[in-house]
Amino acid sequence: MPFGICPFSVIPVRSMPSHRSELLSQLLFGELFEILETKGRQWYRVRCSNDHFVGWIEQAQCKLITPGEFEQYRDNFAYSLELVQAVMGPDHFIPVTMGARLPNFDGLHFRFGDLVYTFSGQALTTGDIRPGADFLLKIAKRYLSTPFLWGGRSHLEWMPRVLFNSFTNLPVSICPGKRKLKSILGKSSILLKRRSLATWLFLKIKPEKLCT
């Protein structure tokens, strides 16, 4: 199957091949997907590589890549830590949000095919991520005052169940259940002690249901 990457700030993932259909999720800049089906010349049915979510995206809003590029971008990237930051191309710029992926990022530049982009904001590689209470709290606080949007995944509009998925994909590693959560955060977790913040953090959704 062909592969692709999101070349825009954010693109909608819909339930059906129609702009009027339900918004189920979103792809952030630099996120990868596998094309499962083609509908005419306008729509692709895709599986998102970060969470395996399946939905429809518009063909004009994606960039096709080779299997080799897919593997390279999947294994070598950094996350943007900036709420909003522009990536500068040769003759244009693209505003990206927190959680956007920067493939083959060397600390200042990254490459999309033949195009080289510059990113001067803060970024974090996957090897630098240490899932724990302090880390979760730091990331969660950046989503405070973000308006709700069904299927939203950026800090500009979001859906509670994908709070962590938009940045660290932690629901996958947390599931299943509280036991796994405690093994990640520690038995004396700050989250388990700070009930008010923990209540907000999980929005009254039990940890084991975060990835349902």
List beta partners, residue 111: 116
What does the domain layout of the chain look like in residue ranges? 3-69, 76-126, 129-209
**What's the pLDDT score for residue 114?**
84
User: Beta strand pairing status for 32-39 and 43-48?
Assistant: antiparallel
Predicted TM-score (pTM) of this structure: 0.76
**Residue type for position 98:** M
pLDDT, tens digit only, all 212 positions of the chain: 699 999 999 999 999 999 999 999 999 999 999 999 999 889 999 999 988 899 999 999 999 999 999 999 999 999 998 989 999 998 999 999 988 999 999 999 998 878 899 999 999 887 777 766 777 777 777 777 778 888 888 877 666 555 555 544 543 333 333 444 444 444 434 444 444 444 445 444 444 443 33
Q: Which residues pair with 54 in a beta bridge?
A: 47
Query: What pLDDT is recorded for position 152?
Result: 85
Is 165 in contact with 153 (CB distance < 8 Å)?
yes
Question: What pLDDT shows up at residue 163?
Answer: 52
Whole-number Å distance between alpha carbons of 36 and 93: 30
Q: How far apart are CA 175 and CA 211, in angstroms?
A: 7
Q: What's the pLDDT at 169?
A: 52
Which CATH number does the domain 3-69 belong to among 2.30.30.40, 2.40.160.10, 2.40.30.10, 3.30.750.200? Answer: 2.30.30.40
**How do 3-5 and 10-14 pair as beta strands?**
unpaired
Please calculate the CA angle 85-86-91 and round it to the nearest 5 degrees: 175
